[in-house]
Amino acid sequence: DAEITQSPRHKITETGRQVTLACHQTWNHNNMFWYRQDLGHGLRLIHYSYGVHDTNKGEVSDGYSVSRSNTEDLPLTLESAASSQTSVYFCASSERGGGNEQFFGPGTRLTVL
Amino acid sequence: AQKVTQAQTEISVVEKEDVTLDCVYETRDTTYYLFWYKQPPSGELVFLIRRNSFDEQNEISGRYSWNFQKSTSSFNFTITASQVVDSAVYFCALSETFSGGYNKLIFGAGTRLAVHP
């Protein structure tokens, strides 16, 4: 069955370190997204991609980067982790088209000490 | 700018009560989509329903029903005869729609529903 996976599921790191969160989908979806979930804010969009080599900034992109070298993967990199980036991170993917639902990964809980 | 407001932060009910979760949205688009997702205590996000801006028919699926009203920019979700398994955080979301298949989602802050036995 097609799926979307994230790794690691839990990560503890220190301020200033570079961290990469992996996202892999086997749906063959063109569209991929990264969100962070914080209490009181719901899910906020960090970066998104509508195809290979396409990346775009979301509403909370500062301190994060992504690259899309193939259809299946969209890794999220925190260049220099900050305590404010402690959060739960969700990756999602969807087919093209505004009406298509996004399928979410299980989430990665990141703690920055 | 697009915005989704879920004014109810937390709702607590007793099993078998009916409960309505409110969702109000703002958009200047004439074509848009609205979604509801459920996040149970296990943490995953589960898609529940999608509605496009041209379809104002109410939707019923078992104990779940959705009331979409463009006149009030609302897309409310009702659970009839609630059960403990309905306990979750529920998110309403709006899809910005552009040509080329773009579908960014804007989420509300979520409503935490607790159903007590």
pLDDT in tens, A8-61: 999 999 999 999 999 999 999 999 999 999 988 889 999 999 999 999 999 999
Confidence category of residue B56, pLDDT binned at 50, 70, 90: confident
Of chain A, the end-to-end C-alpha distance in Å amounts to 37
Mean pLDDT of all residues in B58-76:
92
Which among A42, A48, A90 has the least Cβ separation from residue B104? A48
Q: Bridge partners of B48? A: none
Beta strands in chain B (DSSP E): 3-5, 10-14, 19-21, 24-26, 33-39, 46-52, 59-61, 64-69, 74-79, 88-95, 105-107, 111-116
Q: Are A8 and A111 in contact (CB under 8 A)?
A: no
Q: Can you give the pLDDT at residue B98?
A: 61
Q: How many Cα atoms within 13 Å fall on the side-chain side of residue B64?
A: 15
Q: Are B102 and A98 in contact (CB under 8 A)?
A: yes
- Return the residue in A10, A30, A61, A101 with the most chain B beta carbons within 10 A, the one to mutate for interface testing: A101
Q: Give Cα A32 to chain centroid, integer Å.
A: 8
Quick check: A98 and B110 CB within 8 A?
A: no
Q: Are A102 and A33 in contact (CB under 8 A)?
A: yes
Nearest CA among A112, A113, A70 for reference residue A89: A112
